Amino acid sequence: MQLADIISAITKVGGNPHAIAKITGISIINVIKSINILKYKYHLALFTGLLAENLQLQKILLLCKNSKIKLSTSKKLFFPLVNLFRADLEEDKFMLVIYTNKDALNSIQTAVKKLRDENIVECEIFEISETKRYYRDISCFNFDQNKWTCDRLLQFNKRGKIVKPDEEDINLIVKLQANPYIPYYLSPHYSHIKHVLQGFLYTLGINDTILDIIADKEVIFHPNTLWSAKIGNKYLMEIHINSKELDKIVQKIKDHCSEIFIVPETPSYAEGYSIPYEIFKEKKWEFPKIVLE
């Protein structure tokens, strides 16, 4: 029961032992021991859920096919505006989630057209209008047997509100994205950013493969779905799985999806990036004009 309580607390406050001890009443020593058990026996992975829209950051999806460029180059195409990079193991395709605004979008569209005209890569742009994040109900996990006994999935519902951050607020967010175990709540800037933090996502077990799927309907195909995003009139969903499940899951979902990305969970194929702190200057986002050499 204590491990389940720790996980429940983690979804609310992150992985910092002192924050967990404070809301659970469990001693700090036992919290630290429990976190180590969760990490090394149950392979806990933890991610910070951020409401980027509350920082007035919009996102788009670039879905790119028939790529003739190296993966190491494709992930840097629109850096530092990239939020997420995923590349398919079997086909020459990749996807980028990119932070943008109206002016930046115009230059991205121009760059995408140039890439297509020069027969380098064909990319389609989708506006991301809504993102939902999920986590598994820890009461469904049997720690003695080290397995899930039910598929119940819960959604983070916090919406927060728009904030006007300064440079130190942005720095704190970036640190928390990089390490969800830091004592962020001790910072005087926590009160400024709390409306940006939606919660903390987690997975248990050895998950070495990511499935990114696009479908006409928002259907949760697997309980290890971490998030879904509305892209135009379709939905993008991300599932973290063990590669031993891959064939079974693909067979289950392939008739319901227009796109399936099979992504090894390695830096070459899957990267996540912080908010673009490089372009935050004098308390506002200054998006650069995208120029491809």
What is the DSSP annotation of the chain? -HHHHHHHHHHHH-S-HHHHHHHH---HHHHHHHHHHHHHTS--EEEEEE-GGGGT-EEEEEEEES--S-HHHHTTTTTTSEEEEEE-SSSS-EEEEEEE-HHHHHHHHHHHHHHHHTTS-EEEEEEEEEEEEEEE-GGGEETTTTEES---EEE-----------HHHHHHHHHHHH-TTS-GGGSTTHHHHTTTEEEEEEE-S---EEEEEEESS----STTEEEEEEETTEEEEEEEE-GGGHHHHHHHHGGGEEEEEEEESSTTTEEE----GGGEETTEE-PPPP---
Residue range 179-211, pLDDT digits in tens: 999 999 999 999 999 999 999 999 999 999 999
**102 pLDDT exceeds 90?**
no
Number of domains in the chain: 1
**Domain for residue 123, yes or no?**
no
In a domain, 20, yes or no: yes
User: Would you state the pLDDT for residue 222?
Assistant: 92
Share of the chain above pLDDT 70, in %: 99
Q: Can you give the pLDDT at residue 264?
A: 98
- How do residues 1-35 score in pLDDT, each as one tens digit? 699 999 999 999 999 999 999 999 999 999 999 99
User: Would 35 be classed as within a structural domain?
Assistant: yes
What is the pLDDT, as a whole number, of residue 70? 94
Domain that residue 17 falls in: 1-41
Asked if residue 128 has pLDDT above 90, the reply is yes
Domain-embedded: residue 4: yes
Q: With 90 as the cut, is the pLDDT of residue 145 above it? A: yes
Does 8 fall in a domain? yes
Residue-averaged pLDDT of the chain: 95
Residue 148 within any structural domain of the chain: no
Q: Kindly state whether residue 158 falls inside one of the protein's structural domains.
A: no
pLDDT at 293: 64
Residues 126-150, mean pLDDT to the nearest whole number: 97
pLDDT per residue as tens digits for the range 213-230: 999 998 888 999 999 999
Asked if pLDDT for residue 75 goes beyond 70, the answer is: yes
Question: Does 248 score more than 70 pLDDT?
Answer: yes
